[in-house]
Amino acid sequence: MKCYTIGVDYGTDSARAVLVDASDGSIAASAVSPYARWAEGRWCDPLSQQFRQHPLDYIECLEAVLREVVAAGPEPKAIKAISVDTTGSTVCFTDSEGMPLSLHSSFADDPDAMFILWKDHTGTAEAEEFTAAGARYTPNYICQSGNHYSAECTWAKVLHVLRTNPSVRREAYAFVDECDFITNLLTGCRSFAAMKWGHCIPGAKQLWNRDWDGYPPESFFSEIDPLLVPVLRRIPQVNYACSVKAGTLCPEWAEKLGLSTDVVIGVGNCDAHSGAVGAGVRPGVAVLNLGTSACYMAVMPVEEMKGHFIEGLFGQSEGTILEGYMGYETGLSAFGDIFAWFKRLTGRSLDELAGQAAQIALRDDLPLATDFFNGRRAPNPSNIVTASLSGLRITTGPADIYRALVEAAAFGSKACIDQYLDGGIRIDKMIAVGGIAKKSPFVMQMLCDVLGAPIEVSECSDACAMGAAVHAAVAAGLYPTVLEAEDALCPGACATYTPDGERHAFYLRRYQRYKELAQFVL
């Protein structure tokens, strides 16, 4: 009998699932379900950079996508494992059983009791406190974030809510990241002591490092604010690779889905890192995950990079992407979000704008933009810097501006890739995943011309969900390692973009002006 695994990917706007044949990686079924409450903009305040999501959106979408792929697939007994990835760090305060406070009636409409989305920047001031505290210690406990802690990371969000919401502070037992909440929901785990947290988020976003036996010492957190110490003591101090079995499907969810309680549930993961696995990441292969934000991931042998941290690089930690390798994450806090903003602003079709922008002759006096619509992750992190647009004339039209925005995103990407290369990270090949990679030739060709290197586009439409399915296969014992599962399951490229030498030379000149503009608008 064939065996199948399910990968579930929680993105910014929706959840999706793929049912994967564990022998060859072919997708037997897929499903997508948008978050209903999130789509209404509830509990969000973009002007203050507050972005919150209700756990009921996650729970309802989980049931919807799993029901759909199970119903469309083979005999349910052929399904052996399920693994989940989610946006990160998307964190929520919980009760003593690990359930989000917002599932209690008293907190049902409190944004601070909901999941604080990855791009929520309400903890910017708190992030700066962590960065300053790290600089006072040896070792610098912020080193895995390039010595700059981000408002997109867990502890900044946790501290901001503890300080500003007395009700949540009084009732919260601890916190949980989205990927671990969904995993524990499926296994029926109701005990913090029994939870198997994934390693990805603690290593990349929460300052956990095996070199200092877990988290920084209590004195470090207490110096920033003693409010952090009680939750620090309650969260798991041990975490696990995504290839590890977290448990099996609990009776409640087995009954809902018509599956066996023998179905293995793998440890949870971050979506971008899961997408890297779904695209076949390995040393020398960088994966460009082009979504609402852009995450550029690479891995290196531990023995080559151990103890070497790159200043200003967003995430760098052992085992966060591939077990046994140093994992690196950088990128742009806004990528697809930039183009979606311009679409809302103008009411124009992006395909139409791209067609017009592609016809614009290359000139030095074209409008020039910066890409910091949601701050900047790298190479000089800042949650408060904003985007800019220069070189406008009375004749400037929507296509000119759209072209400048795409160029800015490509320039921001070049800054990130250059930082990798300057830091000693080897990149022999780049593979792009995500909706933009498959749907926007204009964006991809611009990115390729700016980087001056070929970019392959993965044939997989749902690389993050595929990565989760790969991890599920290993957790279920169908493959001994993630790399071997990648070789068997991950598809190849469906397209390759190659750079034009003349355009690359032009963009190198423009890139210097972009860097000057970026310095000017700080």
pLDDT digits (tens, 9 = 90+) for 199-253: 999 999 999 998 889 999 999 999 999 999 999 999 999 999 999 999 999 999 9
Contacts of 373 (CB under 8 A, 6+ apart): 333, 334, 337, 338, 341, 386, 387
Residue 335 contacts residue 377 (beta carbons within 8 Å): no
CA 71 to chain centre: 29
- For residue range 30-49, list pLDDT tens digits in order: 999 999 999 999 999 999 99
List, for residues 104-142, the tens digit of each pLDDT value. Answer: 999 999 999 999 999 999 999 999 999 999 999 988 999
Average pLDDT in the chain: 95
Q: What is the pTM of this model?
A: 0.94
Residues 169 and 161: their CA atoms lie apart, in Å, by: 7
Q: Which residues contact 205 (CB under 8 A, 6 or more apart)?
A: 88, 89, 152, 153, 154, 177, 315
pLDDT of 520 over the 90 cut: no
With cut-offs at 50, 70 and 90, classify the pLDDT of residue 522. Answer: low
In the predicted model, is pLDDT for residue 337 greater than 90?
Answer: yes
Percent of the chain with pLDDT over 90: 92
Q: Would you state the pLDDT for residue 26?
A: 96
Place of tokens 């070792």: 139
| Closest residue by Cα to residue 201 from 250, 247, 141, 145 | 145
Contact 165, 248 (CB under 8 A): no
The whole-number pLDDT of residue 314 equals 81
Do the beta carbons of residue 63 and residue 185 sit within 8 Å? no
> pLDDT tens digit string along 147-179?
999 999 999 999 999 999 999 999 999 999 999
Query: Max CA-CA distance within the chain?
Result: 67
pLDDT level of residue 50 (50, 70, 90 thresholds): very high
Separation of alpha carbons 101 and 190, rounded Å: 14
Count CB neighbours of 190 within 10 A: 15
Model pLDDT for residues 387-433, shown as the tens digit of each residue: 999 999 999 999 999 999 999 999 999 999 999 999 999 999 999 99
Query: 192 vs 489, which has greater pLDDT?
Result: 489
pLDDT band of 377, cuts 50, 70, 90 = confident
Torsion angle, CA of 17/20/25/26, rounded to 10 degrees? -90
Give pLDDT, residue 415: 96
- Residues in CB range of 47: below 8 A, 6 or more apart: none
